[in-house]
Amino acid sequence: MMVKEYNLTDVLRLANTDSKLLAIAEKVQNQERLTEEEGVLLFEKGALGFVGGLANFVADRLHHGRVYFNRNFHIEPTNVCVFTCNFCSYSRQYKHKDDGWELSMEQMLDIVRKYDGQPVTEVHIVGGVHPKMNLEFFCELLSKIRAHRPGLHIKGFTAVELDYMIRKAKLTIEEGMQKLKEAGLQSLPGGGAEIFHPDVRNIICADKVDADGWLNIHETAHNLGMHSNATMLYGHIENYEHRIDHMSRLRQMQDRTGGFNCFIPLKFRNKDNDMSNIVESTIVEDLRLFAISRLFMDNFRNLKAYWPMLGRQTAQLTLSFGVNDLDGTIDDTTKIYSMAGSEEQNPSLSTEELCDMIHAVGRIPVERDTLYNEIKVYSNAMAG
């Protein structure tokens, strides 16, 4: 008896999939780029199983079941901030600085020394924008970390922090970034992007660097040979067009520079901030967003689920919806997300726990460095 072979689009046709969605599935299968209209249509009409199946297919085509994590820790120099983003639960205004924290140079170096002899590969430095912590101060911090532990990759400062410290030092963005690079900065984290579209940005974070400023800082870093990440804060007042506009601007820059390591959707958490009246997105919406990001951002190899923000169980689910990176061990060194209401109140995962999470969904855990070079593949159930 002849058995008919079905391909992906045959199966979708049998399931009576809408003809426009079917055309999108065919494009994905043929590795053709989706338009902005198609991106919006996926948000409007793409059922969870449909976008998830396609995103899983694309992630497997790229990564063959591998899921990355790294061993890292954070330094949060201060939560005192000159800006007043409405979604932020973490910052304290300068006039209330006694309610916040300001780490000294020595306190930050002590955090680095605490990891002496431990196999961490990355330090992530990000915090509020303190009017008295300037470019000179951070260059000194970078060079002291570099001198103490030359092999530790320093990923530091959102474009918001960089824009402020470089403008205050009266340098051009290129001069400031060059100075920080010479002091030891190697990559930029993706924070501060929020939603680029001014209709949203002017409401949720009107006073900090705008979309063009954020993009210019990352493009300058890429042109200086540094890599960076990109984020999108979703699940508040933005609509589907704003999300696709945001992703499209990043996709265009990635075509020009190739300097982004990964894309990180950040779920808005509503505890103790000026947007607490907004209901958080559902897990179905979270998973759809990760899947659609994987389909639309066709020139980003890596899609990261940041588990301290999403919670480890939702992060684990995203691994079947296009995600191939879980960030890292963190070791309870960040407060931004616990203060915003994440279920992860003391975020810390051992290598073994991360590997178990990844194995449990049938994937292969791989430890990576910041630039996604593979350090160790954990093919067996137990982490070594």
**Interface contacts to ligand SF4, rule CB under 6 A:** 81, 83-85, 88, 90-91, 128-129, 160, 205, 208
The answer to whether 58 contacts ligand V47 (rule: CB under 6 A) is: no
Q: What are phi and psi of 125, to 5 degrees?
A: -110, 120
Residue 9: count of CB within 10 angstroms of its CB: 16
Amino acid letter for position 208: K
Q: How far from chain centre, in Å, is Cα 208?
A: 19
Interface residue with ligand V47, options 231, 254, 293, 333 (CB under 6 A) = 231
The answer to whether 229 contacts ligand V47 (rule: CB under 6 A) is: yes
Tokens of residue 155, six digits: 């990923």
Q: Which does residue 130 bind out of ligand V47, ligand SF4, none, counting CB within 5 to 8 angstroms by kind?
A: none
Q: Which does residue 229 bind out of ligand SF4, ligand V47, none, counting CB within 5 to 8 angstroms by kind?
A: ligand V47
Q: What are phi and psi of 234, to 5 degrees?
A: -120, 165
Amino acid letter for position 122: E
Element (H, E) at 51: helix 48-63
CA–CA gap between residue 71 and residue 368 (Å, rounded): 8
Query: H helices then E strands: how many in the chain?
Result: 16, 11
What is the three-class DSSP state of 122?
Answer: strand
Interface residue with ligand V47, options 89, 293, 318, 338 (CB under 6 A) = 89
- Regarding beta strands 66-70 and 302-303, do their DSSP bridges make them parallel or antiparallel, or are they unpaired? unpaired
Rounded least distance, CB 285 to ligand SF4, Å: 22
**Which CB sits closer to ligand V47, 46 or 191?**
191
Selection from 288, 290, 232, 231 nearest residue 260 by Cα: 231
Rounded least distance, CB 47 to ligand SF4, Å: 34
Q: Which does residue 306 bind out of ligand V47, ligand SF4, none, counting CB within 5 to 8 angstroms by kind?
A: ligand V47
Q: Which does residue 233 bind out of ligand SF4, ligand V47, none, counting CB within 5 to 8 angstroms by kind?
A: ligand V47
**Which CB sits closer to ligand SF4, 90 or 234?**
90
Rounded least distance, CB 203 to ligand SF4, Å: 13
For residues 188 and 159, is the Cβ–Cβ distance under 8 A? Answer: yes
Q: Which does residue 194 bind out of ligand V47, ligand SF4, none, counting CB within 5 to 8 angstroms by kind?
A: ligand V47
- Regarding beta strands 227-234 and 66-70, do their DSSP bridges make them parallel or antiparallel, or are they unpaired? unpaired
CA–CA gap between residue 134 and residue 122 (Å, rounded): 23
Residue 156: partners with Cβ closer than 8 Å, 6 or more residues away? 123, 124, 125, 126, 138, 142, 185, 187, 188, 189
Residue number, nearest CB to ligand V47: 191
CA–CA gap between residue 254 and residue 260 (Å, rounded): 6
The answer to whether 88 contacts ligand V47 (rule: CB under 6 A) is: yes
Inter-helix orientation angle 240-257/283-296, to 10°: 30
- Regarding beta strands 364-368 and 374-377, do their DSSP bridges make them parallel or antiparallel, or are they unpaired? antiparallel
Interface residue with ligand V47, options 28, 42, 185, 340 (CB under 6 A) = 340
Q: Stretches 40-48, 183-191, 344-352, 375-383: which one binds ligand V47 (CB under 6 A)?
A: 183-191
CA–CA gap between residue 123 and residue 155 (Å, rounded): 6
**Which CB sits closer to ligand V47, 63 or 153?**
153
Rounded least distance, CB 290 to ligand V47, Å: 15
The answer to whether 189 contacts ligand V47 (rule: CB under 6 A) is: yes
**Which CB sits closer to ligand SF4, 92 or 149?**
92
**Which CB sits closer to ligand V47, 57 or 115?**
115
**Which CB sits closer to ligand V47, 40 or 336?**
336
Q: Stretches 114-122, 130-138, 186-194, 361-369: which one binds ligand V47 (CB under 6 A)?
A: 186-194
The binding site for ligand V47 (CB under 6 A) comprises 87-89, 126, 158, 189-192, 194, 229, 231, 233, 264, 266, 268-269, 273, 306, 309, 327, 336, 340
